[in-house]
Structure formats: structure tokens, C-alpha cells
Amino acid sequence: MTDTDRLDDTLRSVLMLPADADLATVAYGGTETWDSVAHMQLVLAIEETFGITLAADDVVAMSDYPAATRILRDHHGLALDR
């Protein structure tokens, strides 16, 4: 399983998205299931999945899929292809 798959699975599971959901368009406040409670759970789930600790600024900045990819790739060196 690639890091991208693991990120996708984490998002789908925490945000309760169907398998065919277009993750590129999910966003905090825009996706119905992505509210503040889900955001905190998402942060925890990503940290557990990848064994990392997100910086405080990144917790706020990680508000959609591209942002999550960028943060995990640039700040944590994960191999994310999107």
C-alpha cells in the first residue's frame, strides 16, 4: 500500500466517504462530514497512520486534500504522488 493509498483510506474512513468519492474536492467546511470534530479526528488518524506529529500551523492549514498532500510531502517526506 502506497502512502497515497493510506492517506486516501484515512480520509474516506474518518469523513465517511464512499469508495468512489472524488477526494480532490473534499474540504473542511465544504464537505458535510468534515467539521471541527472530524478535523481533530483526521489529524489524529493521520498522525497514527504515518507515525508523525503535525505542527500546530499545519493542523490549521490542512483544510483540503491538496493541502494535506503538500504538508505530508513537504514537511514529513512522505511519498505522495498527488
Partner 1 sequence: MTLRNGRPGRGLLSRGAPDRPALIDASTGAAVSYGDLRARGGAWSARLGPARTLLLLVCRNDLFTTVAYAGAFEGDHAVALLDSQASGPSTAGVVAAYRPPWIAGPIGLGEQLADNAVPVASVEVVEGGELVRTGYPAELDLHPDLAVLLATSGTTGSRKFVRLSAANVLSNARSIVDYLGLSPDERPITSLPLHYSFGLSVLNSHLAAGATVVVSAASVLEPTFWTTFREQGCTSLAGVPFTFQMLERIGFREMDLPSLGTLQQAGGALDRRLTELYSSHMADRGGRFFVMYGQTEATARMAYVPPDRMPEKLGSAGIAIPGGRLRIETTSDDGGHGAGSGEVVYEGPNVMMGYASERDDLVLGDELNGVLRTGDLGYLDDDGFLFLVGRSKRIAKVFGLRVNLDELEAVLRRHGPAAVVAGQDSIWGFCEFGTDESVAALALAVARDSKIHHGAVRFRRVAAIPTTSSGKVDYRQVERWVSSK
In angstroms, what is the minimal distance from the CB of 59 to partner 1?
5
Contact stretch for partner 1 (CB under 8 A) within 2-10, 25-33, 73-81: 25-33
Q: Between 48 and 57, whose beta carbon lies closer to partner 1?
A: 57
For residue 35, give the DSSP letter. S
* Residue 27 binds to partner 1 (criterion: CB under 8 A): no
d(CA 30, CA 37) in angstroms, rounded, equals 14
Residues facing residue 27 across a β-bridge: 64
Q: Residues near 45 by Cβ (< 8 Å), separated by ≥ 6?
A: 10, 13, 14
Judged by CB under 8 A, the residue of 24, 40, 48, 74 near partner 1 is 40
Contact stretch for partner 1 (CB under 8 A) within 4-12, 17-25, 28-36, 68-76: 28-36
- Note whether 2 and 9 are within 8 A (CB): no
